[in-house]
Structure 1
Amino acid sequence: MKSVPAGVAASHPATAQAGLQILQDGGTAADAAVAAVLATCVTETIFTGLGGGGFATYFEVATGEVTCLDFFVAAPGLDGDAEPGPMISVDVFFGGLPQVYSIGGASAAVPGVPAGCGEVHRRWGRLPWAELVAPALTLAKTGVPTPEAHARTLDSCAPALAYGEGAAIYTPNGKRLQGGDLLFHPGLATALDALAVAGPSIFYTGDFAPVIVDAVRGAGGSLGPRDLAAYAVLETHVDRATLGDYQVRARHDLNRVVDTIGALPADLSRPARAVGLAGALRDQGRQRVGDTTNVSVVDAEGNACVITTTLGLGSGVWLPGLGINLNSMLGEGELITDDLAPGGRMPSNMCPLVVIDPDGRLAVAAGSAGASRIRTALIDTLLGVLADDLDMATAIGRSRFHVVGDTVHAEGGYPGDELAALAEAGWKIEQWSGLNHYFGGVTAVGQAGAAGDPRRAGVGLLL
């Protein structure tokens, strides 16, 4: 078995470079992942931001221990002194069809990204906190070019992202950002500069807390100071499943990625596995756009840190003078459960994972964007590198399929013999043209190399 090279995989070149710089400066996988996540809050605000939430999975090479942290958004309402007003409905066109999303102050849940980054650094970091913020701060002062793949996502999500104050950011002068255009957030450098000095607590009990409360309540939301002060990162159970001779470890997500891996057919060869794979991947949920991003990092010692974060579509509630859009997770209807109480953590499809080889060593560190397609994208990638013996870039970049009900949605170029076998087994086939961001956005580092998803302008950089 090969060892995993040190490297970073992310969905924007500048994000990956931020993480790589920290590795070059002697940081751990956790340090580099935190720096990369903070960079996403500048470079990938179409997908994520400091006002969002996420999850982290960490593999410690010295002990073989895998830890999963939950810093996803929490439901507000602990203050009990404000009732949320109505949300704002917007139509987001995806696959040519409108989907109704809800944004506004009432859609904003308690953000977790600052706290999560702080906890990952506290547990496994080595470099000073301010050094991890520095790459994002530098990027925030200048802005970054918008990748063509991100611009295509914006084409779908602009009704939400360009709402209110977001219009000047994503549709400057009335023209939607195109590939190569500069994405710049006035005030974000000020926010990051303060974060570097004060640490993540500035969002929860410090100077930014009343700014958040006033912004949300002014827009009809109920989030209050007790909601922010009570927020804490949680350690969550680590699921495990066997894939061939390998062990996959991750949190128990809404889409049941690890459970699905355990239900894969015994014969993983192609084309024999196609029908069994489709059965395991059958998705009965609603197909949402999935504005999410992921960073995967392995350091020179062999530790790994994978962090997935999201903003939803963004609530359109911007913190004045700070360039930060708050999340819209309470507007994601499928994430609202009957038992969701004030202070409670919302569920999520996100699933940053690690794979351990038969010798107990790291084989893959990976995560994905894509809402319900996260499971599809991750499992197809793992099959590519572990069953099909592909390099990471090929495994991530090849065509894949996603199953909804009795229909197999297949990207252009997916093998015809497998589609024929699926059709013969009774599946309806919906053929897409080319690769599409609908099918997820994997970033991974492993024995097969480092790579990002071409569907999201992803890159992999080795130390």
Structure 2
Amino acid sequence: MEAKPVPAGVAAGHPATAEVGLRVLHAGGSAADAAVAAVLAGCVAESVLTGITGGGFATYYDAASGSVTCLDFFCAVPGLDGDVTPGPMAPIEVVFGGVPMSYEIGESSVAVPGLPAGVGEVHRRWGRLPWHRVVTPAVSLARSGVVLPAAQARTLISIAPAMVPGVGATIYSPGGKLLEGGDLLFHPGLDVALDALATEGPAVFYTGWIGDQLVKTVRAGGGTIGPADLAGYRVLELPVERAPLAGAGVYARRDLNNTIPTIAALPADLPGLSAGERAVALAGALLNHGAQRVGDTTNISVVDFEGNACVITMTLGLGSGVWLPGLGVHLNSMLGEGELITGEPVPGQRMSSMMCPLVVIDDDGELLIAAGSAGASRIRTALLHTLVNVLVKGADMTAAISQPRFHVVADLAGGAPVAHVEPGYPADEVAALVAAGYEVRWWDRVDHYFGGASAVGHAGAAGDPRRGGVGRLA
């Protein structure tokens, strides 16, 4: 596959997030510098979707060597201190995609955060600019606040039960009315926490004063995080797997939703199939026999002027409804999302995730696409549709991400599998799905349920309009 060079650019879930990344690139920063700056900006601008006490994964492509590295800085199960029995969590119900789902929040839902350590490790390995230079843009955003996109305001409606308890009410529902698109989103005190991160480094969240505050806050409500949990946290380097697709290779970690094996299961002659045959093949590979899950997630994709790429996907879960006093920091709710815990939880154990930041490289080792997605069990769906749209259908990145999608779910009762389909999806492809035995459920809108991809590649840069995302070329 012959490809033109990938331009430098940033794709993210909010215009302010992307703008921060671009400014860092133009200031001489690497893809890693820009991605870290954008991630921290996202903790301000996209707090409906993520936060500084969450966790995530990074995939980095080094243009000089053609190597790919995957890092795990997801949340960990607490309990290494062994001196506290967890109290009960608070059950909530969230309606997503028209389906009520049960979750649990509160102090006992808070897992050991990985994001501060993760961005610190990404910067240590591949950053060029001084640490404080990549953190201070987020401090400035936190001091001014940002405009809430309409798409994220719609998400806020769905997850309000996790966002408005306690301090969250003053931030997301001032005066008792949920923020709407165009309203100012402001977190009093978040600039203080981010300034501490800039001046004292990531350790302030683990062995410093913010870590102490986190332990006190969580334990006051029956949670178990202790000093040993925080001090023992480490970023992990993961094996990188490859799947062929349309004459290229897709590289990423093995996630809970098996994105790389799903891509590998696609027919080798996918580009030669008819549109209907291709839709059926894609549906068959995507068929998901697991439970559906909702979570607050966002993604940053960056390519720098040297052709290096850094993709970071991060999440807070739904959010625990627990905030660090005076710091505007919402704590994660990972322990309240049962599908992320495989087997009996073991203190110190890294939790599982469906996040899958990836890069696509041609047979000559040249970068084609750097991409990731939000959307829990729909992450894989959004990524596959995006990659197929670019690599097989030849769409530019904006069209590839904004075009209607379908998401396939197995009927656990043994009935026909269901294809959830956005309006505008080609009728001939839907007819092929029906003929192949899928029950089609049409949605009345293009919706954040179907994921939130962001990507930079030879086809341009784009964020997902379903979640207020944007792409910007440098």
Q: TM-score under structure 2 normalisation?
A: 0.97
Partner of 1:425: 436
Find the residue that maps to 1:272 and give its secondary structure: helix
Partner of 2:40: 38
Q: Separation in 2 of the partners of 1:128 and 1:32?
A: 12
Q: Separation in 2 of the partners of 1:213 and 1:110?
A: 10
Mapped pair 1:174 → 2:194: no
Partner of 1:139: 141
Q: Is the 8 A contact 2:276 2:433 kept in 1?
A: no
Amino acid aligned to 1:162: V
Partner of 2:383: 378
Amino acid aligned to 2:241: D
Q: Separation in 1 of the partners of 2:363 and 2:388?
A: 16
Q: Separation in 1 of the partners of 2:96 and 2:379?
A: 17
Q: Separation in 2 of the partners of 1:438 and 1:390?
A: 22
Q: Is the 8 A contact 2:245 2:268 kept in 1?
A: no
Task: Compute the displacement of 1:289 (Å).
Answer: 2.0
Aligned residues: 463
Partner of 2:329: 324
Indicate which of 447, 450, 454 corresponds to 2:465. Answer: 454
Q: Separation in 2 of the partners of 1:361 and 1:412?
A: 36
Q: Separation in 2 of the partners of 1:107 and 1:32?
A: 31
Partner of 2:167: 165
Mapped pair 1:302 → 2:313: no
Q: Is the 8 A contact 1:281 1:403 kept in 2?
A: yes
Task: Compute the displacement of 1:271 (Å).
Answer: 2.5
Mapped pair 1:336 → 2:352: no
Q: Separation in 2 of the partners of 1:162 and 1:267?
A: 50
Task: Compute the displacement of 1:359 (Å).
Answer: 2.0
Partner of 2:350: 345
Partner of 2:250: 248
Q: Separation in 2 of the partners of 1:340 and 1:382?
A: 35
Task: Compute the displacement of 1:101 (Å).
Answer: 1.0
Indicate which of 371, 374, 381 corresponds to 1:369. Answer: 374
Task: Compute the displacement of 1:97 (Å).
Answer: 3.1
Find the residue that maps to 2:56 and give its secondary structure: strand
Mapped pair 1:389 → 2:391: no
Partner of 2:421: 410
Mapped pair 1:434 → 2:445: yes
Runs of 4+ in 1 over 3 A off after TM superposition: none
Q: Is the 8 A contact 1:74 1:111 kept in 2?
A: yes
Identity of aligned residues (%): 65
Q: Separation in 2 of the partners of 1:335 and 1:96?
A: 22
Partner of 2:454: 443
Q: Is the 8 A contact 2:94 2:159 kept in 1?
A: yes
Q: TM-score under structure 1 normalisation?
A: 0.99
Find the residue that maps to 1:220 and give its secondary structure: coil
Which 5+ residue runs of structure 2 have no aligned equivalent? 411-416
Task: Compute the displacement of 1:339 (Å).
Answer: 4.6
Partner of 1:232: 234
- Cα RMSD (Å) of the superposition? 0.8
Q: Separation in 2 of the partners of 1:178 and 1:66?
A: 40
- Of 94-103 and 372-381, more deviation after overlay is shown by 94-103
1:62-106 superposed Cα distances (whole Å, 9 cap, x missing partner) = 111100000000000000000110000111121233211100011
Find the residue that maps to 1:101 and give its secondary structure: strand
Q: Separation in 2 of the partners of 1:392 and 1:31?
A: 23
Task: Compute the displacement of 1:277 (Å).
Answer: 1.3
Task: Compute the displacement of 1:343 (Å).
Answer: 0.5
Task: Compute the displacement of 1:362 (Å).
Answer: 0.2
Which 5+ residue runs of structure 1 have no aligned equivalent? none
Partner of 1:124: 126
1:214-271 superposed Cα distances (whole Å, 9 cap, x missing partner) = 0101121001000000000000110111002100000100000000000012332422
Partner of 1:264: 266
Q: Is the 8 A contact 1:267 1:273 kept in 2?
A: no
Indicate which of 212, 215, 223 corresponds to 1:213. Answer: 215
Partner of 1:360: 365
Find the residue that maps to 1:273 and give its secondary structure: helix
- Of 231-240 and 266-275, more deviation after overlay is shown by 266-275
Partner of 2:113: 111
Find the residue that maps to 2:277 and give its secondary structure: coil
Find the residue that maps to 2:68 and give its secondary structure: strand
Find the residue that maps to 2:267 and give its secondary structure: coil
Q: Separation in 2 of the partners of 1:95 and 1:70?
A: 29
1:124-182 superposed Cα distances (whole Å, 9 cap, x missing partner) = 00000000011101100010000000000001000111112111111011010000001
Task: Compute the displacement of 1:206 (Å).
Answer: 1.0
